[in-house]
């Protein structure tokens, strides 16, 4: 299927590794002009060079701390100027540390808010002036927006806020032809998931392998997902082929969410 993405201008945040990098690569393979960001310019450049080399697409890198609203706005404004506009924006950020509510402090919550929910709002506010009819924003959240995950208290709460933001923006921007959707990853085999599994293993006195095996037993498809599988869903949702989809939530989780709605 031709996703009609050739020449579309896409910004993917926090994309030097993991889900962000997989999405940037998938978009590049479909012919998008991609700019990815990371807090580390060296890491961003390394990933951009790898993707450009493998796909032949135009892929550039930027250093952006997503907790800094001025930095987010500066990146988006600069990219829009250089590219002559923006068609696709994919806000992204690494998740807050693993912790129960009782293990956290007010300072932890302030940092988690800036990283997860505030950054999502910053991207929306900064991108909106550059998005025209046909533009799209895709938020990446978590199964925790439907069913809280322990011990991820901060992520559970703030990602639910991002889900509400995505739906709110979809309603408000639809008349202008701008689509906003939400993509929920299940247990996708990334470095971030390895870190979370290791934290749980340490908490329970088990090995990471034992934690992974237990998690896979709870997934109907019986395995962790691959980053490329998640990226394929993201690429479809931001493509013109999905032009009548907005305000939607798509799960890429191997069937782990069993609820009807």
9-186+227-250: what fold? Rossmann fold (3.40.50)
CB-based burial label for 240 (10 Å; 0-12, 13-18, 19+)? middle
CB atoms within 10 A of CB 257: 15
- Write the pLDDT tens digit of every residue in 31-41: 999 999 999 99
Low-confidence stretches of the chain (pLDDT beneath 70): 261
| pLDDT on residue 261 | 66
Which uninterrupted H or E stretch holds 167? helix 153-173
Where residue 177 falls (left for φ over 0; alpha for ψ -120 to 50; beta otherwise) is left
Q: What is the pTM of this model?
A: 0.93
| pLDDT on residue 153 | 94
- Closest among 82, 78, 47, 80 to 61, alpha carbons compared: 47
Cα–Cα distance between 159 and 142 in angstroms, integer?
Answer: 7
What are the sequence ranges of the domains in the chain?
A: 9-186+227-250, 189-224
| pLDDT on residue 98 | 86
Contacts of 195 (CB under 8 A, 6+ apart): none
- Write the pLDDT tens digit of every residue in 39-89: 999 999 999 999 999 999 999 999 999 999 999 999 999 999 999 999 999
């Amino acid at each position: 299927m031709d996703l009609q993405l050739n020449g579309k201008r896409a910004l993917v945040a926090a994309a030097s590794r993991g889900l962000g990098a997989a999405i940037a690569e998938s978009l590049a393979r479909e012919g998008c002009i991609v700019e990815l960001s990371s807090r580390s310019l060296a890491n961003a450049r390394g990933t951009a060079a790898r993707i450009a080399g493998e796909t032949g697409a135009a892929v550039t890198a930027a250093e952006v701390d997503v907790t800094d609203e001025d930095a987010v706005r500066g990146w988006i404004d600069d990219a829009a100027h250089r590219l002559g506009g923006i068609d696709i924006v994919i806000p992204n950020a690494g998740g807050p540390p693993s912790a129960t509510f009782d293990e956290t402090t007010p300072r932890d919550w302030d940092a988690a808010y800036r990283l997860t929910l505030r950054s999502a709002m910053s991207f929306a506010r900064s991108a909106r002036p550059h998005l025209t009819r046909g533009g799209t924003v895709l938020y990446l959240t978590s199964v925790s927006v439907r069913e809280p995950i322990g011990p991820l208290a901060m992520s559970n709460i703030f990602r639910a806020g991002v889900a509400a933001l995505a739906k709110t923006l979809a309603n408000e921007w639809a008349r202008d032809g701008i689509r906003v959707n939400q993509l929920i990853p299940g247990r996708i085999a990334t470095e971030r998931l390895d870190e979370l599994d290791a934290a749980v293993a340490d908490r329970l006195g088990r090995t990471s392998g034992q934690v992974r095996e237990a998690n896979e037993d709870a997934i109907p498809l019986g395995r962790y997902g691959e980053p490329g599988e998640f990226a394929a869903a993201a690429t479809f949702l931001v493509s013109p082929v999905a032009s009548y989809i907005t305000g939607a939530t798509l799960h890429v989780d191997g069937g782990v969410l069993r609820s009807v709605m």
